[in-house]
Amino acid sequence: MAYDPLKDPDTFKSFDVHKDQAEHASEASSSSKPRPYAPTWRVSEPKSVAVPITSDEIEQFKRRSRNPLRDDTQEFQLPVRRKRQDSETGDSSMVAMHYNQRREVGRDAREYSPIIPLKRFNNWIKSALIAMYAHSSGTRGKGGRVLDLGCGKGGDLRKWDRQRPAHMVMIDLATISVEQAQDRYKEGNYRWPADFFTFDCFRRPLQDVVPMALLEPKFDTVTMQFCLHYGWDTEESARTMLSNVSKWLRPGGTFIGTIPDEETLFARLDAQPEVTDLSFGNENYRIEFEERHESGEKPFGNKYRFWLEDAVDDVPEYVVDWATFERLAKEYGMQLIYKARFDQILSDGYANKNLRQLLERMQVIDPNMAAAGIVTPAMPPAMWEACSMYMDTDSTALYLGFAFERIVTDDDP
């Protein structure tokens, strides 16, 4: 049975405020001198101090998923004896734990997600980036060799299948996600080979884990969807990741991805009435910054927590300082060829017949509105705010997509 902290009598023991107050009151009346700390009613053994449930965790329970096909009790479980947070294990372990704990609910159940319009929109955006910027050099099938960094549970396998890749190497930090991606790959009966690995691509060189035979010939496309912002904590991590991309991408190959747009994040934070107010959001999403910094002031490690209903539970992420990202990418031999917020990608993709048809098939846009010349995703305003941001009458997307092309450098053979 899944451990349910709400049913565990120990969970709230440390919150027995009335008992504490009564004991303090009786101690105070029996002696006026301060007494050393020597609890007489402790229940835990020495050296195994229970860590009380935090206010963040209480908030997470309050925001449990509204997807009827998700078993809420399994979605967020506290290990029976928890370690104290971040410092020992690092944020990447928290990210891995979060994604490992998210159950794979299957394709039908995914359709019941309360944010399904947003998920469909994001899926279409990824399909559009793939269709526009992922191409082989012509000798290895239409889609060529693909490296998926932060592949998650393999949600993009079907998108890649449309490109007929020659081979895919899929990597993620979260072991259980990688296993689920592997299961999905087997169930999909795809006609192209794929290999799966678990490791932190911001901390380790690819060649330490992936056999050379799978790294060459070099990849035609490296894709990193909704992942880069988890690893943008230090310059060293960013450089390790960029070196992993550049080293194994063929000249002319592309590096594509999606990240939160720094400008929109800062604009939204600046729109808060109080300078001390570091969070914003609505019933579908919430972003909470640790500190307030001007754009460019803290190029790495500018941390915030992100909650997105039925998807992400208060996971630490970092603002990707765009100027720094583009400058470093150039250092690693990658030239920017496309950068657009999701609303712009929607209008760019709409101009392409195949992508327009895909938009309609995936029910991303309202066909009646589109016929009237208004191409916007069919979703409630609060949900659109979770992937965009309203400023007066203008709306700009919270996320952006990018494509870099690998250019030939002096280091290339």
Instruction: Please say which residue, 318 or 384, places its beta carbon nearer to ligand SAM.
Output: 318
| C-beta of 227 vs 355, nearer to ligand SAM | 227
DSSP notation for 330-361: HHTTEEEEEEEEHHHHHHHHHTSHHHHHHHHH
Q: Which residue has the tokens 């895919």?
A: 168
Of 226, 255, 338, 384, the residue at the interface with ligand SAM (CB under 6 A) is 226
Nearer to ligand SAM, 5 or 317 (CB): 317
Side chain identity at residue 339, one-letter code: K
Assess 177 for contact with ligand SAM (CB under 6 A).
yes
- Near ligand SAM by CB under 6 A: residue from 152, 260, 316, 349: 152
- 332 annotated ligand binder: no
The answer on whether 390 is annotated among ligand-binding residues is no
CA 330, 333, 338, 340 torsion: positive or negative?
negative
When binding is defined by CB under 6 A, the residue of 115, 169, 173, 364 that contacts ligand SAM is 173
307 touching ligand SAM, by CB under 6 A: no
Q: Which of 6, 95, 81, 7 is nearest to 49 (CA)?
A: 81
Select 121 or 226, whichever has its Cβ closest to ligand SAM: 226
Strand order in the sheet with 194-198: 194-198, 165-172, 144-149, 219-225, 249-260, 399-406, 334-341
Give the one residue of 65, 136, 221, 225 binding ligand SAM; rule: CB under 6 A.
225
Using alpha carbons, select from 390, 304, 306, 382 the residue that is nearest to residue 343: 390
User: Which residue shows structure tokens 């992936």?
Assistant: 210
Angstrom distance (rounded) from CA 286 to CA 292: 16
CB closest to ligand SAM, residue no: 152
244 binds ligand SAM (CB under 6 A): no
Q: Is 230 in the site for ligand SAM (CB under 6 A)?
A: yes
Answer yes or no: is 230 a known binding residue. yes
* Options 120, 133, 200, 222; binder of ligand SAM; rule CB under 6 A: 200
Site for ligand SAM contains 227 (CB under 6 A): yes
Segment contacting ligand SAM by CB under 6 A, of 69-77, 219-227, 342-350, 366-374: 219-227
Minimum CB distance to ligand SAM smaller for 225 or for 254: 225
**How far, in Å, CA of 228 to CA of 318, rounded?**
9
List the Cα angle 360/255/402 in 5-degree steps. Answer: 55
Distance in Å from the first CA to the final CA of the chain: 57
Site stretch for ligand SAM (CB under 6 A), options 70-78, 147-155, 162-170, 346-354 = 147-155
Cβ neighbors of 91 (< 8 A, separation 6 or more) are 230, 233, 303, 316
d(CA 305, CA 275): 18
**Cβ-based nearer residue to ligand SAM, 143 or 150:** 150
19 is in an annotated binding site: no
Name the one range near ligand SAM by CB under 6 A: 31-39, 89-97, 134-142, 365-373. Answer: 89-97
Asked if residue 172 belongs to a known ligand binding site, the reply is yes
Answer yes or no: is 122 a known binding residue.
yes
Task: Using CB under 6 A, pick the residue from 121, 133, 160, 202 that binds ligand SAM.
Answer: 202
In angstroms, the CA 321 to CA 261 distance is: 9
Under the rule (CB under 6 A), what is the footprint of ligand SAM? Answer: 92, 95-96, 99, 150-152, 155-156, 171-174, 177, 200-202, 225-227, 230-231
